[in-house]
């Protein structure tokens, strides 16, 4: 073979080998490339459009379509990164071609990337104020909570919710206390509640359906609130409702049912133990109270209580059990639809709430059930029209109608049965079905079941219709980034109080116990029976009339409303907004004018319009996402003040520095991904003082009923006298708060770990002191006018730590919040000669004050050697030794001193833990407080009854009960002894506030029935309480008539189709 031919064959073979190797390489390469497709969902199963799906380490990526679908080719072994604003980024390693469903978990921290601020929104990096934000869907993890105030408890640092009642629908009169919300504590003794805006308009938050809420922002410092001027002094809450997005109509149904129970109330003791304790107290005090022996129960009768031999005469009735249900039922339903086109985007919803009762009310034959119940219907329609490319129109229409029913009985009458009723009182009914009624307080007393169920029903109807119209016009034709917005809002509220059913009561009877213990076999029960009728029915002025024989009568009647309350609010606003970027420079501006007119048709205003006018502005500047400055100002006008004081200007400045965006910080970013510093300083105001009327600067005159007498003329012929009524103060002006805030925001490990720390302080001056709080000499001759006298100072800090991460499909998170709030009164018109410890100045607002007991008196010698008080002659061993604080040798009111803390917590903390795996999620939220004092005055043997609480018996000084370390004095019956500071309790507590277990059923399992998402869940609220208090109560003293705080167990579902 020639050399040339050999070369040709070699070249051909090499070419074939190269081709083969190239083919094998391509085949292997093709085998290592996977085709991945799937759908990305949120936690509720909703497809997420626009999710970035990126191959890690490359620039190759796609975005999910409108239905959340994606398809991408990726080399085997690489990772796909799923990223979407507001959700935790997820990475998935690819091992083969596959079709997958990916669920992204909402990132509460990244929700703050867009912050709702006063009259606008800002990027998180440019925010210089102290602002907290909460996603609306977090609210529904609280079970069937009917108002947003309670739903906010334990959610954001610096926000304290004092929940003191579980009454369905909230408090409607002075007999109960509504939950109270405070932002950074309390800096005034006037109205300390925050300003609440719903979609930019001042409104109540309690009857907003939580399902309609997209987000809640809480503005806490002056740079965030000064744009609201006089109304921003106590903080601002901004509630934003849901709106539609472009896409097909999506229907959603949320339904749940709740079982609720009393969280905790004091436990009374049974008849035998209670009566025995009462006997001991009588014997112990005989030396100073010999008349108490008349109420002593014999050993024979005591044995009847123990054995239950005569239950109709010697009762052993657990009244709390008889008055309270094992659980109450509540229901909540919401249906919504959202979607839209480029021209019209829409959101609409209908909601229904039925909040049930825990009291054992029933229709006992009179045609009504006097249960405590609240029914509410909510509706909302939010429409957004894109009229032209530069013109947008928004129309909001929402509102509610609520009906709240409750027993017509005086609240103390039946709550006494729940909290304090001795077990010795008679059974509910005798054997013939007639209700029992007592004849004295010693053993019997009124029948609280009858009080509750035979006093008719009061029904309060209330409702509100809210209307917003907002027109927005871009003015790019003038300059890019400029737009003008006009807004008109009209609200109409009504309330009808007290309509319902009246009832004069029912027949009751009392049977003398002697009948049951009689040895006479021929004894006739009628000879021992007295019948009772309500005195109102038989025109008796003596309460109840004693009649030998029963009468027939009809008690029911329809009653008219006792009162009504209506108001309307008209608000119009125009604003000019500018927002533009120039390279590294970001500039925005706002100029705003608004005016509102409120008419109330009841009470002191009675139709007189209340007017307010506001001018506000804001300028922000950011350079290169590193340096930020914000200037805010509001010029407010109020009709409450006279000439020269009607208007006031409230400015603020905020500075921010994103250190982590500096070039010198690049090396640290692998560990510390974020470092931001911010500072704010500014002024806000408050004119919301109670009991000062509409024009407190104006002195009014009134016609005096006494007539002038001249000479010897008759009195009735004298002329009418015009005299001063309410004395005005023409110098009355704004209450002003100077607030400062320094904040640090930190992020670590690509913001998996984030932290925020805020230090703040406030000095509030010219606080309005109303006439009832003024201290003026008696010779002034009239109630003093309101004046700007008060000064307070407060400070504190807020700390928040969040951690979020995932291990493939397992996402987990945790959060810790801690808050400190301290306040002090600097000046409040204290009398000059008053000792410092008795003054308000120098102590917190609402400081607890009490006698102080140093110990329990162990012997007679201690009594003789101690300070003498007005009741010292009644002291016995076992009573408290009180501290003679002013050392004058006498125990009196001058020895009452500050003790403990106010009734609101100085320190609060919140712990959240959670995780989810392939659609199954679990979350736990804990809330705690300490450095708080609550008055829980249980008392013993009230109304000469044998009512006693387990907590007192376990802690009393008594050889009879042999408590090892007692802190409560000896049991007392009929003597005026002091409780010292015993009932001023440490209100520290820790509770499992909420818990939820949920499952998002895979879409492939529900698609056949037309659903795109289905979430089922069980959750609860106020589930477990760790506290030394015998009652669950926050922010209010125990007073025997609180509707108990409840704990909720909830089951529900959320379906989208």
Q: How many CB atoms lie within 10 A of CB 52?
A: 16
Q: How far apart are CA 595 and CA 511, in angstroms?
A: 68
The crossing angle, in degrees rounded to 10, of helices 271-284 and 299-307 is 160
Predicted confidence band of residue 24 (pLDDT cuts 50, 70, 90): very low
Check whether 603 has a pLDDT greater than 80: no
pLDDT, averaged across the chain = 84
Backbone angles phi, psi at 707, to 5 degrees: -105, 155
Instruction: Judge residue 527's burial from the number of C-beta atoms within 10 Å of its C-beta, 0-12 exposed, 13-18 middle, 19 or more buried.
Output: exposed
* Encoded tokens for 353: 């709430």
Check whether 545 has a pLDDT greater than 50: no
* Encoded tokens for 398: 């929402």
Question: Which pLDDT value is given to residue 704?
Answer: 66
Question: Which pLDDT value is given to residue 277?
Answer: 92
Question: Which pLDDT value is given to residue 710?
Answer: 56
Choice among 560-574, 649-663, 851-865 with the minimum mean pLDDT: 560-574
Strands, DSSP E only, in 475-584? Answer: 482-502, 508-511, 529-534, 544-547, 557-559, 563-582
Question: Which pLDDT value is given to residue 560?
Answer: 55
Choice among 287-296, 377-386, 406-415 with the minimum mean pLDDT: 406-415
Check whether 110 has a pLDDT greater than 50: no
Check whether 111 has a pLDDT greater than 50: no
Question: Which pLDDT value is given to residue 547?
Answer: 47
Q: How far apart are CA 474 and CA 488, in angstroms?
A: 18
If we measure between CA atoms, which residue out of 645, 777, 784, 787 comes closest to residue 724? Answer: 784
* DSSP class of 29: H
If we measure between CA atoms, which residue out of 200, 43, 218 comes closest to residue 148? Answer: 218
Question: Which pLDDT value is given to residue 1003?
Answer: 82
Question: Which pLDDT value is given to residue 943?
Answer: 66
pLDDT in tens, 739-753: 999 999 999 999 999
Check whether 614 has a pLDDT greater than 70: yes
Helices (H) and strands (E) in the chain, counts: 13, 53
Q: How far apart are CA 726 and CA 705, in angstroms?
A: 16
| Of 485-489, 827-831, 951-955, 1001-1005, highest mean pLDDT | 485-489
Contacts for 861 with CB less than 8 Å, ≥ 6 apart: none
Check whether 415 has a pLDDT greater than 50: yes
Strands, DSSP E only, in 808-848? Answer: 810-827
Check whether 541 has a pLDDT greater than 60: no
Contacts for 632 with CB less than 8 Å, ≥ 6 apart: 118, 222, 223, 226, 227, 616, 617, 618, 651, 652, 653, 654, 682
Are the C-beta atoms of residues 564 and 498 closer than 8 Å to each other?
no
Please identify which residue in the block is written with the tokens 């669950």.
Answer: 1032
Check whether 26 has a pLDDT greater than 80: no
Q: How many CB atoms lie within 10 A of CB 701?
A: 10
Predicted confidence band of residue 990 (pLDDT cuts 50, 70, 90): very high
Question: Which pLDDT value is given to residue 22?
Answer: 45
Predicted confidence band of residue 716 (pLDDT cuts 50, 70, 90): low
pLDDT in tens, 421-472: 888 877 678 888 888 876 553 334 578 888 888 888 888 888 999 999 999 9
Contacts for 1054 with CB less than 8 Å, ≥ 6 apart: 44, 252, 253, 254, 1013, 1014, 1015, 1017
Check whether 66 has a pLDDT greater than 80: no
If we measure between CA atoms, which residue out of 293, 267, 418, 314 comes closest to residue 953? Answer: 267
Question: Which pLDDT value is given to residue 544?
Answer: 40
Question: Which pLDDT value is given to residue 938?
Answer: 85
Are the C-beta atoms of residues 163 and 1031 closer than 8 Å to each other?
no
Please identify which residue in the block is written with the tokens 């206390």.
Answer: 177
Query: Mean pLDDT across the stretch 59-70?
Result: 81
Check whether 630 has a pLDDT greater than 70: yes
Kind of pairing, strands 373-386 and 508-511?
A: unpaired
Please identify which residue in the block is written with the tokens 């080998």.
Answer: 17
Check whether 1011 has a pLDDT greater than 60: yes
Query: Mean pLDDT across the stretch 677-700?
Result: 84
H or E element in which residue 792 lies: strand 787-807
* DSSP class of 835: -
Question: Which pLDDT value is given to residue 649?
Answer: 92
Instruction: Judge residue 605's burial from the number of C-beta atoms within 10 Å of its C-beta, 0-12 exposed, 13-18 middle, 19 or more buried.
Output: middle
Question: Which pLDDT value is given to residue 450?
Answer: 82
Question: Which pLDDT value is given to residue 763?
Answer: 96
Please identify which residue in the block is written with the tokens 């070369």.
Answer: 7
Query: Mean pLDDT across the stretch 86-94?
Result: 81
Question: Which pLDDT value is given to residue 99?
Answer: 86
Buried b (16+ CB within 10 A) or exposed e, 387-402: eeeeebebebebbbbb
Check whether 697 has a pLDDT greater than 90: no
Check whether 312 has a pLDDT greater than 60: yes
Predicted confidence band of residue 559 (pLDDT cuts 50, 70, 90): low
Question: Which pLDDT value is given to residue 425?
Answer: 77
* pTM: predicted TM-score of the whole model, two decimal places: 0.84
Are the C-beta atoms of residues 566 and 494 closer than 8 Å to each other?
yes
Coil, strand or helix: which one is 425? coil
pLDDT in tens, 1025-1045: 999 999 998 877 777 777 888
Query: Mean pLDDT across the stretch 658-678?
Result: 93
Contacts for 1039 with CB less than 8 Å, ≥ 6 apart: none
């Amino acid at each position: 073979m020639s050399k040339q031919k050999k070369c040709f064959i070699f070249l051909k073979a090499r070419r074939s080998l190269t081709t083969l190797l190239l083919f094998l390489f391509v085949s292997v390469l093709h085998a290592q490339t996977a085709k991945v497709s799937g759908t990305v969902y949120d936690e509720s199963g909703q497809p997420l459009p626009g999710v970035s799906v990126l191959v890690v380490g490359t620039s190759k990526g796609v975005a999910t379509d409108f239905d959340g679908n994606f398809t991408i080719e990726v080399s085997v072994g690489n990772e796909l990164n799923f990223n979407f604003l507001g959700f935790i980024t997820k990475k998935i390693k690819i091992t083969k071609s596959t079709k997958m469903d990916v669920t992204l978990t909402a990132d509460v921290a990244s929700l703050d990337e867009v912050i709702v601020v006063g009259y606008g929104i800002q990027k998180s990096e440019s925010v210089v104020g102290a602002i907290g934000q909460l996603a609306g869907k977090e609210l529904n993890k609280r079970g069937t909570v009917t108002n947003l105030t309670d739903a906010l408890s334990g959610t954001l640092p610096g926000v304290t919710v004092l929940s003191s009642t579980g009454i369905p629908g909230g408090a409607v009169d002075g007999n109960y206390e509504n939950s109270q919300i405070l932002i950074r504590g309390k800096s005034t003794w006037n109205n300390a509640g925050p300003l609440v805006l719903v979609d930019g308009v001042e409104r109540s938050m309690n009857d907003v359906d939580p399902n309609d809420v997209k987000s809640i922002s809480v503005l806490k410092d002056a740079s965030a609130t000064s744009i609201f001027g006089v109304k921003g002094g106590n903080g601002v809450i901004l509630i934003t409702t849901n709106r539609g997005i472009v896409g097909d109509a999506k229907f959603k149904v949320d339904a749940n049912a709740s079982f609720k129970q009393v969280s905790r109330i004091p436990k009374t003791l049974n008849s035998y133990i209670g009566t025995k304790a009462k006997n001991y107290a009588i014997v112990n005090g005989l030396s100073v109270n010999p008349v108490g022996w008349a109420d002593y129960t014999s050993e024979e009768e005591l044995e009847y209580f123990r054995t239950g031999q005569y239950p109709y005469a010697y009762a052993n009735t657990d009244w709390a059990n008889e008055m309270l249900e094992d659980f109450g039922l509540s229901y909540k339903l919401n249906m919504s639809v959202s979607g839209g086109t480029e021209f019209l985007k829409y959101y609409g919803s209908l909601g229904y709430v039925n909040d049930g009762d825990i009291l054992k009310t029933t229709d006992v034959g009179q045609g009504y059930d006097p249960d405590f119940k609240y029914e509410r219907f909510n509706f909302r329609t939010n429409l957004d029209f894109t009229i032209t490319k530069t013109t947008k129109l928004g129309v909001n229409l929402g509102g509610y109608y609520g009906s709240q029913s409750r027993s017509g009985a005086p609240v103390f009458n039946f709550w006494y049965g729940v909290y304090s009723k001795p077990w010795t009182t008679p059974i509910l009914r005798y054997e013939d079905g007639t209700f029992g009624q007592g004849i004295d307080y010693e053993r019997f007393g009124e029948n609280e079941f009858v009080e509750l169920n035979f006093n008719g029903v009061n029904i309060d109807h209330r409702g509100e219709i809210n209307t917003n119209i907002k027109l927005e016009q871009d003015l790019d034709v003038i300059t890019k980034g400029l737009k003008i917005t006009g807004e008109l809002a009209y609200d109409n509220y009504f309330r009808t109080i007290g309509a319902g059913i009246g009832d004069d009561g029912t027949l009751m009877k009392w049977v003398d116990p002697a009948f049951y213990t009689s040895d006479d076999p021929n004894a006739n029960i009628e000879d021992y029976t007295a019948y009772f009728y309500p005195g109102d029915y038989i025109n008796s002025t003596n309460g109840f009339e004693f009649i030998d024989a029963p009468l027939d009568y009809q008690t029911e009647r329809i009653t008219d409303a006792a009162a009504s309350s209506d108001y309307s609010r008209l608000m119009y606003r125009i604003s000019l907004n500018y927002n533009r970027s120039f390279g590294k420079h970001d500039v925005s501006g706002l100029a705003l004018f608004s005016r509102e007119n409120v008419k109330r048709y009841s009470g002191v205003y009675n139709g007189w319009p209340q007017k307010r006018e506001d001018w506000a502005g804001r300028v922000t500047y950011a350079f290169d996402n590193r340096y930020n400055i914000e200037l805010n100002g509001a010029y407010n006008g109020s009709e409450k003040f006279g000439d020269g004081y009607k208007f006031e200007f409230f400015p603020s400045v905020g500075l921010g520095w994103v250190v982590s965006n500096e070039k010198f910080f690049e090396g640290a970013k692998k560990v510390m991904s974020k470092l931001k510093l911010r500072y704010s300083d500014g002024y806000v105001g408050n004119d919301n003082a109670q009991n000062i009327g509409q024009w407190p600067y104006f002195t009014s005159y009134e016609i005096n009923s006494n007539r002038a007498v001249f000479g010897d003329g008759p009195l009735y012929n004298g002329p009418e006298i015009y005299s001063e009524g309410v004395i005005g103060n023409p110098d009355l002006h704004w209450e002003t708060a100077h607030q400062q805030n320094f904040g640090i925001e930190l992020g670590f490990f690509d913001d998996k770990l984030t932290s925020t720390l805020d230090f703040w302080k406030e000095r509030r001056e010219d606080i309005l002191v109303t006439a009832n709080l003024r201290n003026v000499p008696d010779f002034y001759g009239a109630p003093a006018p309101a004046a700007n006298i008060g000064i307070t100072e407060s400070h504190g800090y807020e700390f928040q730590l969040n951690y979020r991460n995932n291990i493939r499909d397992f996402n987990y998170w945790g959060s810790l919040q801690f808050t400190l709030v301290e306040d002090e009164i600097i000046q409040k018109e204290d009398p000059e000669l008053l000792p410092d410890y008795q003054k308000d100045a120098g102590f917190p607002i609402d400081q607890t004050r009490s006698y102080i007991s140093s110990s329990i008196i162990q012997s007679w010698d201690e009594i003789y050697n101690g300070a003498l008080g007005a009741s010292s002659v009644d002291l016995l061993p076992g009573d408290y030794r009180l501290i003679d604080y002013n050392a004058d040798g006498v125990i009196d009111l001058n020895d009452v001193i500050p003790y403990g803390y106010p009734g609101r917590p100085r320190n609060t903390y919140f712990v959240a833990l959670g995780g989810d795996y392939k659609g199954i999620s679990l979350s736990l939220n804990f809330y705690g407080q300490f450095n708080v004092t609550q008055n829980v005055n249980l008392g013993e043997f009230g109304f000469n009854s044998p009512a006693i609480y387990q907590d007192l018996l376990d802690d009393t000084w008594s050889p009879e009960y042999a408590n090892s370390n007692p802190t409560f004095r000896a049991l007392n019956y009929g003597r005026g002894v002091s409780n010292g500071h015993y009932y001023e309790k440490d209100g520290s507590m820790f509770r499992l506030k909420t818990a939820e277990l949920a499952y998002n059923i895979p879409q492939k399992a529900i698609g056949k029935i037309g659903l795109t998402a289905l979430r089922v869940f069980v959750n609860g609220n106020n589930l477990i309480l760790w506290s030394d208090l015998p009652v669950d109560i926050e922010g209010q003293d125990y007073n025997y008539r609180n509707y108990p705080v409840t704990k909720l167990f909830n089951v529900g579902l959320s379906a989208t189709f």
